[in-house]
Structure 1
Amino acid sequence: MIKDKIFQTAIKFKDWKIIFAGIVFSFLWASASTATKIGLHSAQPFVISIFRFAIAGSVMLFISHVIMRKRLPQKKEWFQISIYGLLNITFYLGLYVIAMQKVSAGLGSLAVATNPVFIVLISAIWLSHKVRFKNIISLLLCFAGVFLAAYPLLQSSFATPSGILILIVSMIAYSLGTIYYSMQEWNKLDILTINGWQTILGGLFLMPLVLMTYQDNKNTFDSGFWFSTSWLAIAVSVGAIQVWLYLVKLNPIKASYWLFLCPIFGFLIAHFMVKEPLTLYTLFGVLLVIIGLYANLASKEKKN
């Protein structure tokens, strides 16, 4: 009797732990766009990116190699990490930070939440997986939601067509990186090691563009800059990803459902932190994206 009560209590505690972890992940992941917008008031986009990658990568590699004593990548693994970093860091986050100059923070977080749909469709083309009707419908719903939420922002200069296009291209780059990562044999190389080195290498690949475009008068390393880069590096690149990996380890499908909260948190954070507008277009746009995500993830769950 007592053992049963202890067991039930432990299960309830675990459930609350998972819920807490999911909410923390959703909040941290959604906060990236607003943190980027804050940083853009103080520095050029690539400058923010380089500092973010240097801090995040250094922290992850210190934990991996110094504290946890994990091995270094070997031979072919360096090439794999380089390609992964090029797609997932250089192209995805490089384009994302450019797009954030041209779109609202809320719209940025809304677009990020659509990644699972892109991943399913691109993997269908790349890996010859069957494209289901629900996958196509979910993509159309997500696109419709993004553009509906963007409509009033386009009229009030909170977003531009070119910004939305760059944002979509960055999501495609992220999806390609995710699929490439899943296709590789990593020989039990620690995930923190992979993430640390792909972040450092991705930043190095971006350095030529930083040097070519750097303008001293556009970069003031003030409190806004350091808050932005530190938050993006520690809270998002390290914290959010580690919480995400914890959720994925427990249940990959259920973990994906926490992405539903990201657009909601994203628009709320942007509204209170940088005074971006909330309208009925925002509400219905977010609802369409959530329905599109649900259609995609639900079909995937049934398939599994």
Structure 2
Amino acid sequence: MVAGICFAILWASASAATKIGLAYTQPFVIAVPRFFLAGAIILFFAHIVLKKELPQRQQWKQLAIYGFLNISTYLGLYVLAMQEVSAGLGSLSVATNPVFISLISAIWFKEKIHISIILSLLLCFTGVVIAAYPLLQNSFATPLGLALLLISMFCYSAGAIYFSKCNWGNLHILTINGWQTILGGVFLLPFVLYFYNDAQNSFTLSWVGCVLWLAIPVSIGAVQLWLYLLKDNPVTAAFWLFLCPVFGFVIAAIVMHEPISLYTLAGVLFVIAGLYIVQQQKKKN
């Protein structure tokens, strides 16, 4: 239980940490250092401490594609979206990932799309719209931000399915995670250099704290806790995702002073209902 609660809190905290960082620097100036720092730490443990082997030829190609989908496009678009939406709404959208994964997986593998998946998607989409409604009116969210969030969720889902489809051989999970994070950061470097504007960046201690938090507790800590939960009980692990939007809005309210209304609560309940239905279907399968 402790591991599950810690995972939900850390995972949900990413949106608020990103919003704090955006007050000081441009989006990619937060994201890329985070990726390189997290990837370097992971690879240090993988290759120096654990002495795990390096990827082989075909695996480098797989890592590049996975890093592009899971890091460059997903988190790259996500950090751009966080300029336009509230931290709470960002964490709520992240919680919908299992539903998108189920839908895209069914299409990818040409499986029958069960009615429960469609219902889950409708509930989650409705929940996000309800939660976003007052935020759109009060300038806590924009249509562009919501569109970027939606696209980023699809990219993450595509990356997750690609990961499951690939043959990784004996490659250790830390090796995969470390290199895909580094490669994802490399793909974003041209955008950092092209759009960099010195006047929009202030490298304060707050920015350093934001990058460190996103790199270590979130990118490393939360991911390792998630893997531990999956290994312990995959069915139970998925239900910890239900707490992420709850913690996300609570953290956003405390740290960012974002409003929590009846729309917020209704939106969270709709998303949780959608997640519950899709997890029940997975359990049956």
**Larger Rg belongs to:** 1
Alignment correspondent of 2:185: 203
Gaps in structure 2 of 5+ consecutive residues: none
1:239 alignment counterpart: 221
**CA distance in structure 2 between the partners assigned to 1:193 and 1:254 by the alignment:** 26
Among residues 63, 79, 91, which one is paired with 1:81 in the alignment?
63
Show the counterpart of 2:35. Answer: 53
CA RMSD of aligned residues (A): 0.5
Task: Give me the whole-angstrom Cα distance separating, in 2, the residues matched to 1:111 and 1:51.
Answer: 24
Secondary structure of the equivalent of 1:197? helix
The correspondence for 2:54, drawn from 53, 72, 97, is 72
Query: In 2, distance between residues paired with 1:269 and 1:68?
Result: 35
* 1:8 paired residue number: none
Report how many aligned residue pairs link the two structures: 285
Deviations 1:44-90 (A, max 9, x none): 00010111001100100001101111110011000000000000000
Measure the CA separation in 2 of the matches of 1:84 and 1:251.
25
Q: What is the rounded CA distance, in whole Å, between the counterparts of 2:41 and 2:154 in structure 1? A: 27
- Cα distance, 1:214 vs structure 2: 0.2
Deviation readout 1:186-206 (Å, 9 max, x if unpaired): 112000110000000000000
Paired residue secondary structure (2:5): helix
Structure 2 partner of 1:180: 162
1:27-176 to structure 2, matched below 5 A, reads 27-176=9-158
**Shift, 1:276, TM fit:** 0.4
Q: Within 5 Å, which residues of 2 pair with 1:254-265?
A: 254-265=236-247
The residue type paired with residue 54 of structure 2 is L
SS of 2:24 mapped into structure 1: coil
Which residue does 2:195 correspond to in 1?
A: 213
Alpha-carbon distance between aligned partners in 1 of 2:232 and 2:158, rounded to the nearest angstrom: 24
The separation in 2 between residues aligned to 1:59 and 1:218, in whole angstroms, is 28
CA distance in structure 1 between the partners assigned to 2:235 and 2:103 by the alignment: 17
Q: TM-score, normalized by length of structure 2?
A: 0.99
Identity of aligned residues (%): 60
Following TM superposition, the consecutive aligned residue runs of length 4 or more in structure 1 with deviations greater than 6 angstroms are none
Deviation (angstroms), 1:302: 1.3
Q: Which amino acid aligns with 2:208?
A: W
Please state if 1:283 is matched with 2:258: no
The match for 2:250 is 268
Say which SS state the counterpart of residue 170 (structure 2) adopts.
Answer: coil
- CA offsets, 1:214-271, max 9 Å, x none? 0011111101101111000001000000000001111222111100000000000000
User: Please, which runs of 5 or more residues in structure 1 have no aligned partner?
Assistant: 1-18
